[in-house]
Structure 1
Amino acid sequence: MTNQLLEFKEILRSRQESEQRKPDKQTRKLLFYLFTSTRGGFTRLRIIMSLLDKPYNTHQLSQELELDYKAVQHHMKVLEKNNMVSKIGEKYGAIFHLSNFLEMNISALDEAIDKLDRKMNHKKVYI
């Protein structure tokens, strides 16, 4: 997973525009919550990284990521509700792509990846 997180960071860095605005505090909190504070954060990050390349429907994403269709469907609802993805069409054939909001704040996703990496690789030890 760590190698995949590093790969995600490189992809994001290559896509970032030089004049990109700094995300506000609430946006950063939202991204951290969606991608680092919940059990499905890594899966949602994988979905977002797939959507960077091209739009997909839920079935295509489940095949691309080798995940259960219902799991992808759940994550897509969470991402859509939080304005991370936009949907074109209805029901089974609906196509998802990154929202304008996420496109404008993509640099904050880089920070979320760092936080997720630390969380996944540095377990807290309680004595």
Structure 2
Amino acid sequence: MKKVLLWLILGTKGGLNRAKIIKKLKERPYNLNQLSKELDLNYRTISHHIDKLEEMNIVEPHGNSYGKMYFLTDEINETYDEFEEILNQVEQ
């Protein structure tokens, strides 16, 4: 998981936005519209990043259509300390 997180956050253009999404979803589940408002990012931007995070088994959807809520997977919850370490590297 650490390699995946390093690539998603440090190795890609949208890494900081993905990190913000992960941090928000650690607080509680959100749908795309809620994340867009909370993070002041375009809905399509959020949707793109959520798709990437889902592909990498970091978030998982529950529900249908517009109201679909996103949660962090058990795998990322178990390694959240690694995520915070990586994020600290970016913020320094």
Q: What TM-score do the two structures reach when normalised by structure 2?
A: 0.93
Match of 2:62 among 88, 99, 122: 88
Residue 99 (structure 1) shift = 0.6
Q: Is the 8 A contact 1:51 1:96 kept in 2?
A: yes
Q: Is the 8 A contact 1:35 1:42 kept in 2?
A: yes
Instruction: Say what the alpha-carbon RMSD is for the aligned residues.
Output: 1.1
Q: Could you tell me which amino acid in structure 2 is paired with residue 43 of structure 1?
A: N
Residue 53 (structure 1) shift = 1.1
Aligned to 1:58: 32
Residue 67 (structure 1) shift = 0.5
Whole-angstrom distance in 2 between the partners of 1:53 and 1:65: 13
Q: Could you tell me which amino acid in structure 2 is paired with residue 41 of structure 1?
A: G
Per-residue CA deviation, residues 27-82 of structure 1 (Å, 9 max, x unaligned), is 21111001111010100111111111110000000011111000000000001110
Aligned to 1:117: 91
Residue 111 (structure 1) shift = 2.1
What stretches of structure 1 of length at least 5 have no aligned partner? 1-26, 119-127
Taking the TM superposition and a 5 Å limit, the aligned residue runs for 1:1-127 are 27-118=1-92
Query: Alignment length, in residue pairs?
Result: 92
Identity %: 34
Q: Could you tell me which amino acid in structure 1 is paired with residue 68 of structure 2?
A: A
Structure showing greater radius of gyration is 1
Whole-angstrom distance in 2 between the partners of 1:79 and 1:96: 10
Q: What TM-score do the two structures reach when normalised by structure 1?
A: 0.69
What stretches of structure 2 of length at least 5 have no aligned partner? none
Q: Secondary structure at 1:56's aligned position in 2? A: coil
